[in-house]
């Protein structure tokens, strides 16, 4: 991606390209307004849900614990796109404005967007205790099957039920 914010004149002196600055200011406005909406709504949701979780006294501890786990997973899942999509996008738009050359900008954004789709479900898997226990049990069973082969090289059936 090449954005020419400054164009040289016949003497090589750089002058602002006002058309590019105007068009890119529109792109910046759309990107940053989206980012501000995500932050504002995330903070407001955090405050409202935190207040609601502190007020509820009729629920059991198990239900409250599960709600806190879901809430924490939601907060982290809100931060992931902010870190992996908005932050690289900011640098891609800001570097050319300050005449800084970053040749790998587009590949960096492609990599972070690809990482986003892989990383997004992880908070739910590792914060919610029931999911985490199921994953650990499954991994233990898989490791148990592959690590305990008999002398013929045939995997034996997993007989242990690893408590977690």
pLDDT digit string, tens, across residues 29-44 = 888 888 888 888 878 8
Q: Report CA 92 to chain centroid distance, whole Å.
A: 18
Q: Is residue 140 in some structural domain?
A: no
Q: Is residue 161 in some structural domain?
A: no
Question: What is the distance between the alpha carbons of residues 128 and 163, in angstroms, rounded to a whole number?
Answer: 17
Q: What is the DSSP annotation of the chain?
A: ----SEEE-TTS-EEE-HHHHHHHHHHHHHHHHHHHHHHHHHHHHHHHHHHHHHH--SS-HHHHHHHHHHHHHHHHHHHHHIIIIIHHHHHHHHHHHTT---TTHHHHHHHHHHHHHHHTTHHHHHHSHHHHHHHHHHHHHHHHHHH-B-TTSPBPPP------
Q: Is residue 142 in some structural domain?
A: no
Question: pLDDT at residue 16 above 70?
Answer: yes
Task: Please give the model's pTM, rounded to 2 decimal places.
Answer: 0.61
Question: pLDDT at residue 87 above 60?
Answer: yes
Question: pLDDT at residue 154 above 60?
Answer: no
Question: pLDDT at residue 152 above 70?
Answer: no
Lowest mean pLDDT, pick from 5-9, 52-56, 88-92, 101-105:
52-56
Terminal-residue alpha carbon distance, the chain: 50
Q: Report CA 9 to chain centroid distance, whole Å.
A: 43
Q: Where residue 158 falls among pLDDT bands split at 50, 70, 90? A: low
Question: pLDDT at residue 54 above 80?
Answer: no
* Largest Cα span, the chain: 81
Q: Is residue 155 in some structural domain?
A: no
Rounded to whole angstroms, what are the CA distances from 153 to 53, 140, 145, 150? 54, 20, 12, 6
Q: Where residue 70 falls among pLDDT bands split at 50, 70, 90? A: confident
Q: Is residue 138 in some structural domain?
A: no
Amino acid 161: pLDDT = 57
Domain count, the chain: 1
Q: Is residue 51 in some structural domain?
A: yes
Q: Is residue 87 in some structural domain?
A: yes
Rounded to whole angstroms, what are the CA distances from 105 to 33, 43, 91? 22, 30, 8
Question: pLDDT at residue 6 above 70?
Answer: yes
Q: Is residue 120 in some structural domain?
A: yes
Q: Where residue 140 falls among pLDDT bands split at 50, 70, 90? A: very high
The parent domain of residue 121 ranges over 6-127
């Amino acid at each position: 991606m090449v954005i020419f914010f400054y164009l040289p004149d016949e003497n090589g002196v750089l002058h602002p390209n006002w058309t590019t600055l105007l068009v890119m200011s529109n792109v910046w406005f759309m990107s940053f307004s989206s980012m501000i909406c995500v932050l504002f709504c995330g903070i407001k949701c955090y405050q409202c849900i935190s207040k609601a979780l502190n007020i509820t006294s009729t629920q059991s501890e198990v239900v409250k614990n599960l709600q806190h786990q879901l809430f924490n997973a939601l907060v982290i899942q809100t931060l992931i796109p902010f870190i992996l999509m908005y932050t690289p996008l900011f640098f891609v738009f800001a570097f050319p404005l300050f005449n800084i050359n970053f040749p790998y900008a587009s590949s960096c954004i492609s990599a972070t967007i690809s990482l986003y789709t892989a990383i997004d479900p992880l908070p739910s898997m590792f914060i919610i205790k029931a999911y985490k226990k199921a994953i650990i049990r499954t991994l233990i069973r898989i490791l148990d099957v592959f690590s305990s082969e008999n002398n013929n090289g045939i995997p034996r059936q997993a007989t242990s039920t690893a408590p977690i």
